[in-house]
Amino acid sequence: MKRTLLTGNAAAAWGARLANVDYIPSFPITPQTEIIESLSEWIDNGEMPGRLVTLESEHSMITAAGSAAATGIRTFSATSSQGLLYGMEMLYTVSGWRAPFVLVNVSRGLSSPITLEPDHNDIFAARDCGFLQIHCASCQEILDSILIAYRLGEDARVRLPVIVNMDGFYLSFTREPVVIPDEESAREFVGNFDPENIHFSASAPESQAVAVLGGGPYSYFRYETHLAAMNGLAAYEEIAEEFGQRFGRSHSAVESYCADDADYLFVMLGSFATKAKEAVDRLRVCGWSIGLVRPRLVRPFPASQLQHLLADRKGIAVIDQNISMGMGGVLHSELATALYGQSGKQPILASFIGALGGRDIAIEEFFEIAEVIKQAASSGVTPPPRLLYTREELREIRKLQAVARAERDELNNNSGHKKGEAQ
């Protein structure tokens, strides 16, 4: 065991190293690249066994990860944003192969417009693909979650690939103190991958991922995958419990902070929840009864835990770092689904969208959000979804637009002149 400062990317690389992975199909993309660079360096220097291969695309990378896992070896891969979407066909495909591996996604906003900074539209685009999802809020959590993810994915009840998600820049490039477990205890915890019947071998021919005819068999295999994902809920609890006992760090499926007695709650995913925690602290000083709930496990969705945690509150603010065009925040609608039809008085469930493309959420905005849900709770009227944006930001974008307009006019005038001259 050693405590040191690590970026989120380095923590992810350590997670893969300690999980004793055999195979790493890779492809570069900012802000993930440091993960595969670290692993590649360790392998080249002989500091870790394993084989790293750079494919020519993420589509191929996910295919190779799936087919290697389907041959029975422990596989790791990492991507982000455009890469996750480029591989999307294969995310859906390989989860149906029921061969577990771990994929780290470093969340980054999607094009268009193209950006490097984080939000969760990439990972939510993969919401329904059959990979389980663990969302991290700290560098320590990234390392720990990778170890947990191997246990979870390889569990005989589950047998599914798992995505461990972190926010680009805010975690990927931020150094935090991280405890690196010693190799032996990490290996003891993760164990060897026992592929059982997952293999390609001359002595036991196997047809995998074959076509089906008709909705009957198709539905059967799709339901099976869903039920396996649902089995992940109980499996996760057991594995996280064991992890806690062994390493002294608890990573429950849903983190709650100052939530026990709180009338009001923020609900958020990932590292931006740390900002919400600070807001909770400051609001509590001013006498607010407020807390934070942060789902770590997003697939399978820990609905009953959330129902329990969110019951009997006055108001809940779901702050989504994603936007489903024409609908709104995805986490908000998932929570609404979980809470609908529960007995007892239902809390106000208000939707806020913020932090797209790495946009900050200022502490004052959390105060404002708290105020909005408090007023909603007393009036009993749920406020319309809010797109967080400040007057200052609007002024800034107006300036940029003015510059763009001026430049275009200039260009038009000049080319007009030239045309005139030529005539």
Closest CB 234 distance from other proteins, rounded Å: 29
Task: Report the candidate in 251, 81, 82 with the shortest Cα–Cα distance to residue 168.
Answer: 81
Please give the Cα distance from 393 to 356 (Å, whole number): 13
Choice between 214 and 420, CB closer to other proteins:
214
Closer of 206 and 409 to other proteins (Cβ): 206
CA distance 8 to 137: 10
Strand pairing partners for 18?
none
Burial class (CB in 10 A: 0-12, 13-18, 19+), 187: middle
213 binding other proteins? (CB under 8 A): yes
3-state secondary structure of 318: strand
| Short-list 2, 279, 51, 7, CA closest to 139 | 7
From 20, 38, 63, 305, residue interacting with other proteins (rule: CB under 8 A): 63
Q: Which stretch binds other proteins (CB under 8 A): 71-79, 238-246, 288-296, 334-342?
A: 71-79
Task: Choose which of 41, 47, 89, 128 interacts with other proteins (CB under 8 A).
Answer: 89
Residues 19-48 that bind other proteins (CB under 8 A): 22-23, 25
Min. distance of Cβ 70 from other proteins in angstroms? 7
CA dihedral 235, 237, 241, 247 (to 10 degrees): 80
Q: CB-wise, 91 or 186, nearer to other proteins?
A: 91
99 in the Ramachandran plot: left (φ > 0), alpha (ψ -120 to 50) or beta?
A: beta
How many chain residues touch other proteins (CB under 8 A)? 40
Distances (CA, A) of 285 to 274, 288, 361: 17, 7, 20
Give CA separation, 168 vs 85, 116, 277, 292, 345, in Å: 16, 8, 20, 22, 38
Site string for other proteins, 179-208 (x = CB under 8 A): ---------------------xxxx-xxxx
3-state secondary structure of 99: coil
- Nearest-approach distance from CB 228 to other proteins, in angstroms: 18
* 68 near other proteins, judged by CB under 8 A: yes
Nearer to other proteins, 59 or 386 (CB): 59
Q: Using CA of residue 111, residue 116, residue 117, residue 120, what is the dihedral sign?
A: positive
Closest separation between CB of residue 86 and other proteins, Å?
A: 11
Contact status: 90 vs other proteins (CB under 8 A):
yes
Smallest gap, in angstroms, from Cβ of residue 125 to other proteins? Answer: 17
Q: How is residue 10 written in tokens?
A: 């380095």
Residue (64 or 269) nearer to other proteins, CB: 64
Shortest distance, position 321 Cβ to other proteins, whole Å: 30
Binding site for other proteins (CB under 8 A): 22-23, 25, 51, 53, 55-57, 59-61, 63-73, 75, 89-90, 93, 200-203, 205-213, 217
